[in-house]
Structure 1
Amino acid sequence: MLFVASRSEYSRCPAISISRRWFDQKSQITGLVQGVGFRVAFERSARSYGLSGWVRNRCDGSVEALVSGDSDAIKKIIDWARQGPEGAVVKQILIEDADLTTLRPGQFLRLPTE
């Protein structure tokens, strides 16, 4: 299932109202999100929320992230990603359910550009 969350539409995004307590979610963040420290800041924030997963730049200029954890922590990282670090201009976040089975709980990686 794919959800689109622009700044104005985010509050109505059904991904945030999922009742499951633990799940995996993949996001693609577009806008001015490369060259502003987005991946490093995303990784720090995700770790501080106790999430597992990875983040990477995409060749198309977006940032992609896969996170796994408590639904409240997932909501927090998506809320954070709406603004990103200083200098970022987030235009849209595409969100879809995912399956993260290859990482240990608490492991968060910054992957190379794909």
Structure 2
Amino acid sequence: MPKRSFHRARAAARALSYSVHGAADELIARRSPGLRSQLLRAVASVPANIAEAEQQTSDAQALNFLRIALGSANEVGAHLETAADAGALSPKVYTACQGTRQVVKVMLQRLIERLEEQARRP
């Protein structure tokens, strides 16, 4: 798996992290500290696990970290939905964060599919 693919996914995940950190400022203003904390932990996990995957020596190990990153991206989505439903995020900020998250998810899904395909080859 080319390192370039991991690098691009990690760059997109960092963009998601910056976007979500900006959104978290709205959560402070709305007094949602628990949700803010969960959201920030989940979003930090995405690029961190991609970086871990990139350094693995086997596809199986890399897949494990990429799946964790994908799960964390899904968790970010759930927290963003909760914040939006509670009125703690503006629709504009919610839409921007979810759009960036969707890009990251697609990149992770493609990386996972490619590694799974490689693993199936004899």
Q: Give the TM-score band, short-chain normalised.
A: 0.3 to 0.5
When Rg is computed on C-alpha atoms for both structures, the one with the higher figure is 2
Which gives a bigger RCO, structure 1 or 2 (Cα 8 Å, sep 6+)?
1
